[in-house]
Structure 1
Amino acid sequence: MSNPGETNDHPIENMEQLVEVLSRGCKPESAWRIGTEHEKFGFVRPEAARGRTPFSPPPYSPDGIEAILRALLDDGSAWQAIEDRGALIGLKGRGAEAGRSISLEPAGQFELSGAPLATLHETAAEMAAHFAALRAPSEALGLGFAPLGFQPLWPRDAMPMMPKSRYAIMRRYMPEVGALGLDMMKRTCTVQVNLDFADEADMARKMCVSLALQPLATALFANSPFCDGRPNGYLSNRARIWTDTDNARSGMPECVFEDGFGFARYVEWVLDVPMYFVVRDGTLIDVAGRSFRAWLDGRETGVLAELTPTVGDFEDHLTTVFPDVRLKQFLEMRGADAGTPDMMVAQSALWVGLLYDAPTLMAAEALVREQPWDVYRTLRGEVPARAMEAGFPGGLRALARRVVTLAAQGLAARGLGEDRYLDPLFAIAEGGPTQAEHWLSLYHGAWQGDVTPIFAAAAI
């Protein structure tokens, strides 16, 4: 989730203002960029436990997440602090780190929101540099970090809670709307790529193609087969968690697949997603479950009846909807588990290849339209347990081969030598194991039923 931003306090006077929030993202192709975000779990390294429980999640403080943020903050002038009621909860890049930010997920999952970059080579270099910068302060504290889709060992109650206001609101509200929302908050990690669009029509095509293929991405990047120290029956337990988190704000919105989909249709969907909060004078006011549409229409009561909805309120509300592909002033691909660095770069490569070359996008659109949209919705429900063995007409691996081949075509058209980043996906499409299946083979073999070696094996 993003760190707090600046607030636009202009009152909402018409729907065109809300559409304009999204349409401001339109860019010429020459300005299209790649923004990769990735999360990872912290853990206490057993050789440096110093009285702490080996592999346990680090607290916010002392000698935990806050200390790492402060070490990065104090290491030169590349970062500035982001605070929430006096607590350090993130960093904003400047100078050499301009365009990047570091934020915390609810249980301290450490997230880098990467800068808008021109090439996948820069993406890979950014990821490596971030891991290197994180390693020194983490090791000094006896900590490590591992990008996995779901916390493999510790129960929800053992996970810490970061001092971020919106998370307190979500923690209260989540159990009212789904059985697994608190697990989503505390025990999942993802990787996503943020990509641009030229205009409304281009956005709609990219949204449709990427939303339909998001279940395939979930299968390819499945990396969460353990829960509470043992196999959980799923290959992407992170994806399973999202099926019962808050279905009013997540999943595959039907409007995306309807004729005439565009910015206005997405705004209409967002207005009917229940709210979490509004911000006034830097303070978050809990209005979870209330209706933004009713507030706009003057039909809300209580504190909302006393407040005028602003464009900034709508921009904040956009950050609290969680479809598998999220539209802001760019498109966020949200279907993948966090994983190895090679796999996380491959996730960006897949979508850049499919969406950033016009002939490839046209071919991908034709491919997804070979099946009715309900097939992809059904697939979304099957891939958490079965990943690449989930049912799909003609076989999911056959679909994967076609899709990854198209992505390679799109990357080759860029002429930058980026198609090599798809190699891990070709291996899976041709029958190789997913990351989850790789870990399970070790668990049942060399690890002899002990899940704890995964922390060192997956550490960055």
Structure 2
Amino acid sequence: MSSSTTSDKNSLIENKEQLVSYLETGCKPDRSSWRIGCEHEKFIFHRKDNSALTYEGENGVAGVRDVLMEFVDRGWNPVEENGNVIAALKDGASVTLEPGGQFELSGAPLETIHQTCNETSEHLRVTREIGEKFDIGFLGLGFHPTATRADIPIMPKPRYDIMRAYMPTVGTMGLDMMLRTCTVQVNLDFANERDMVEKFQISLALQPLATALFANSPLKEGRPNGMRSLRSHVWTDTDDDRCGMLPFVFEDGMGFERWVDHVLDVPMYFVRRNGQYINAAGQSFRDFMNGKLPALPGELPTLADWEDHMTTLFPEVRLKTFLEMRGADGGPWSRLCALPALWVGLLYDPSAQAEALALINGWSLDDMEKMRDDVPKMGLATEVGGQSFQDLAKVVLGIADRGLKNRGKLSTSGETEQGFLSDLWESAQTGMTPADHILADVNGKWGGDVSRIFKEYNY
């Protein structure tokens, strides 16, 4: 998606207006320039015992570093930190490591869902080849089904060391978020400030519905956990400063400046200097702009520092120079393509966007907060205004379907993007989310043997 130039990144930040102007650079008045950026995470495990991979590997077995180097051997460019390969880049896409070794593809900004789905398919084809070579598997779920926190190896990224120390001081489940969750998200563009606000409001209000449709984390440490999306529940007690439904987004005056104010109010984690991470956990970016950051007294921040700080916020929808939809569990291949279809259908066609905005305008802030609170456990049985999410899903999917039809983006074989919604339509018709299917298997043909998920759900 959009990014600043290298020279911009080195510019000193001395006032809030510069931060507002930075967000404004994301505006793309020409709709033809809008792109779709998809991301998904997955757990990596040894097939012999379903254990998580360490970074280096041990006793002759592969580690996460070996997986990254396989991408490097296929023409990707390695990214090192303190001598460790922690990512690989190619053609606008990247593969990176999350704190517990979760493996993430951040796709290139592409024009159609056909292209993003092809990108995902090619990536998963490569991971299957790597899996065969190293006898490892890749699992798409929202929460690790068997591992305890202690079972998860820590990846060698100093950023995560700072976060792991800070998280337990502000919530009880931050370490679970870091080590045992996976998500799928999509990043979308906006035309101008007003368009950004409308898209932000629609996507934030409907994020609980996306959580329900993609709910895929009903297991924890080898047994059902009472939730359909434990990953979503984990975020409710991770860090209140960084998470949540952001009521101010629906208030008069919402815009780029209001978002900047919010980000400035969120405590910092770190500052990067000369390739090193300096611990600034709990300190204020406002103080930084006044040269009074305790971690770097007398220094002013750069635009790169601001970009880093923005990545440490974790709301259901996040604004950068584009919007990130963050409410869905990691899941099976078809759902990786369904998520961009849902949001592109709702937000990249003017008439669909207007319909979606009219739909959510009837909800109060209390309605939306209750939806967010109820959905991790209740899934599609969650209600708003006396209507179940199952019925709401049919309405919203109808809007998205019309939006995709109106876009008219065809595959090489002449198909529209509407087909990517098929899995979501099935959930809306049956009331069965991926989590419900897993629970049915655990209680049925798996005979309570949760370990079967590693074979049955391996990419």
- Considering the TM-score relative to the shorter chain, is it more than 0.5? yes
Equivalent position of 2:115 in the other structure:
122
The correspondence for 1:39, drawn from 41, 55, 67, is 41
Equivalent position of 1:80 in the other structure:
77
Q: Percent identity?
A: 50
Equivalent position of 1:216 in the other structure:
209
Q: Whole-Å Cα distance in 2 between the matches of residues 21 and 34 of structure 1?
A: 20
- Contact map agreement 1:401 1:426 (CA 8 A) in 2: yes
1:427 corresponds to 2:426: yes
Equivalent position of 1:448 in the other structure:
447
- Contact map agreement 1:26 1:196 (CA 8 A) in 2: yes
Q: Whole-Å Cα distance in 1 between the matches of residues 304 and 139 of structure 2?
A: 35
- Contact map agreement 1:21 1:315 (CA 8 A) in 2: no
Structure 1: which amino acid aligns with 2:33? A
Equivalent position of 1:49 in the other structure:
none
State the Cα distance separating 1:6 from its structure 2 match: 8.9
Structure 2: which amino acid aligns with 1:69? L
Q: Whole-Å Cα distance in 2 between the matches of residues 6 and 364 of structure 1?
A: 39
State the Cα distance separating 1:247 from its structure 2 match: 1.2
- Contact map agreement 1:151 1:188 (CA 8 A) in 2: yes
Equivalent position of 1:418 in the other structure:
417
State the Cα distance separating 1:376 from its structure 2 match: 1.0
Q: Whole-Å Cα distance in 2 between the matches of residues 295 and 108 of structure 1?
A: 32
- Contact map agreement 2:290 2:300 (CA 8 A) in 1: no
State the Cα distance separating 1:299 from its structure 2 match: 4.8
Q: What SS does structure 1 have at the residue aligned with 2:384?
A: coil
Structure 2: which amino acid aligns with 1:256? V
- Contact map agreement 1:59 1:160 (CA 8 A) in 2: yes
Equivalent position of 1:89 in the other structure:
86
Extract unaligned runs of 5+ from structure 1. Answer: 47-53
Q: What SS does structure 2 have at the residue aligned with 1:149?
A: coil
The alignment of Structure 1 onto Structure 2 pairs a total of residues equal to 443
Equivalent position of 1:359 in the other structure:
351
- Contact map agreement 2:42 2:104 (CA 8 A) in 1: yes
Structure 2: which amino acid aligns with 1:104? L
Equivalent position of 2:412 in the other structure:
none
The correspondence for 2:304, drawn from 312, 321, 335, is 312
Structure 2: which amino acid aligns with 1:112? L
Q: Whole-Å Cα distance in 2 between the matches of residues 298 and 441 of structure 1?
A: 57
Equivalent position of 1:10 in the other structure:
11
Structure 2: which amino acid aligns with 1:283? Q
Deviations 1:215-241 (A, max 9, x none): 110011000000000000100000000
Deviations 1:400-452 (A, max 9, x none): 11111000010000113111111111111123310000000000111111101
Equivalent position of 1:243 in the other structure:
236
Q: Whole-Å Cα distance in 2 between the matches of residues 135 and 344 of structure 1?
A: 16
Deviations 1:257-278 (A, max 9, x none): 1112111100000000010001
Structure 2: which amino acid aligns with 1:402? V
> How is 1:27-426 mapped onto 2 (pairs within 5 angstroms)?
27=28, 28-46=30-48, 54-62=49-57, 63-75=62-74, 78-93=75-90, 98-300=91-293, 302-393=294-385, 394-416=387-409, 417-426=416-425
Moved over 3 A (4+): 297-300
- Contact map agreement 2:390 2:431 (CA 8 A) in 1: no
- Contact map agreement 1:212 1:373 (CA 8 A) in 2: no
Deviations 1:62-91 (A, max 9, x none): 21110011122112xx31111111100000
Deviations 1:358-410 (A, max 9, x none): 11101100000111122111110100011011232222222111111000010
State the Cα distance separating 1:24 from its structure 2 match: 1.0
State the Cα distance separating 1:142 from its structure 2 match: 1.1
- Contact map agreement 2:291 2:300 (CA 8 A) in 1: no
- Between 1:410-419 and 1:390-399, the stretch displaced more is 390-399
Deviations 1:315-366 (A, max 9, x none): 1101111111010111100000011111121111000000000111011000
CA root-mean-square deviation: 1.4
Q: Whole-Å Cα distance in 2 between the matches of residues 444 and 280 of structure 1?
A: 52
Q: Whole-Å Cα distance in 1 between the matches of residues 270 and 370 of structure 2?
A: 32
State the Cα distance separating 1:459 from its structure 2 match: 1.0
Equivalent position of 2:25 in the other structure:
24
Deviations 1:263-311 (A, max 9, x none): 11000000000100011111110101111123324554x3232322222
- Between 1:290-299 and 1:411-420, the stretch displaced more is 290-299
Q: Whole-Å Cα distance in 1 between the matches of residues 44 and 256 of structure 2?
A: 38
Deviations 1:15-51 (A, max 9, x none): 12101221111112010011100000011112xxxxx
- Contact map agreement 2:318 2:324 (CA 8 A) in 1: yes
Q: What SS does structure 2 have at the residue aligned with 1:334?
A: strand
Deviations 1:121-156 (A, max 9, x none): 111111110011122222211101011000000101
Q: TM-score normalized by structure 2?
A: 0.94
